[in-house]
Amino acid sequence: MTKRSCGILGILLLLLLAGCGEDESLTRFHDEMDGFYQSLSASVSVLENIDPLSDTAVDEMLAQLDEMAGLFEGLAAIEIPADYRDQFENIETMSDEASGYMTEAAALYHEVYAEGGYDDVVEQAARENYNRAMKRINYIAVLLQGRLPDDENIQILSADETVDWNGGESAAE
């Protein structure tokens, strides 16, 4: 995610929730989400501006990823106001998932560069976890704007639809 897209997400989130002011729990939720997106934007900016040719590039990157994992843990701890849980029902799940993915990404990046080496396979897994975390952050921003994410991997079900988790087969078969 680029600096620009993080900034845009933060601004959109701010605009979306700016008019909510009267409900104290919603205002607190807004402030916490806004703080998360501002901090994330700053963190991504630092990450993107690390000089890859610097002798300290790996250490700087790992430190920034650790900071981002902490930010994501903070996101997962943000409580959705009870009156708005139906409206934002998927945000809590996606926040938890994003936090798990970012924590795993940071740990795997540490493993990638362990003992001065480099492991291509582990780096690929780390990058995938990072991308999954950021995708969920984008989904959350879209949901907070009152829209549905537009992604080929998302299937929108209405409240009266169910999912056949058995692929059309009954559990007894």
Instruction: Please give the pLDDT value at position 101.
Output: 98
CA end-to-end span of the chain: 45
Instruction: Please give the pLDDT value at position 147.
Output: 78
pLDDT digits (tens, 9 = 90+) for 108-128: 999 999 888 888 999 999 999
Judge whether residue 20 has pLDDT over 50.
Answer: no
The C-alpha atoms of residue 110 and residue 97 are separated, in whole angstroms, by 20
**Which residue did the predictor score with more confidence, 146 or 79?**
79
- To the question of pTM greater than 0.85 for the whole model, the response is no
Instruction: Please give the pLDDT value at position 46.
Output: 97
pLDDT digits (tens, 9 = 90+) for 47-92: 999 999 999 999 999 999 999 999 999 999 999 998 888 878 789 9
Judge whether residue 12 has pLDDT over 50.
Answer: yes
Please answer whether residues 63 and 44 qualify as being in contact, where contact means their C-beta atoms are separated by less than 8 angstroms: no
Instruction: Please give the pLDDT value at position 49.
Output: 97
With the C-alpha atoms ordered 50, 53, 59, 62, is the resulting torsion angle positive or negative? positive
As a whole number, the mean pLDDT across the chain is 83
The C-alpha atoms of residue 139 and residue 48 are separated, in whole angstroms, by 22
- How much of the chain, in percent, has pLDDT values that exceed 70? 74
Instruction: Please give the pLDDT value at position 143.
Output: 86
CB count within 10 Å of CB 42 equals 16
Please give the distance of CA 134 from its chain centroid, rounded to a whole number: 4
Structural domains in the chain, sorted by start: 3-144 (1.20.120)
Nearest residue to 139 (alpha-carbon basis) of 9, 15, 7: 9
C-alpha torsion angle, residues 79, 32, 88, 86 (rounded to 10):
40
Nearest residue to 109 (alpha-carbon basis) of 90, 89, 130: 130
Alpha-carbon radius of gyration of the chain: 19
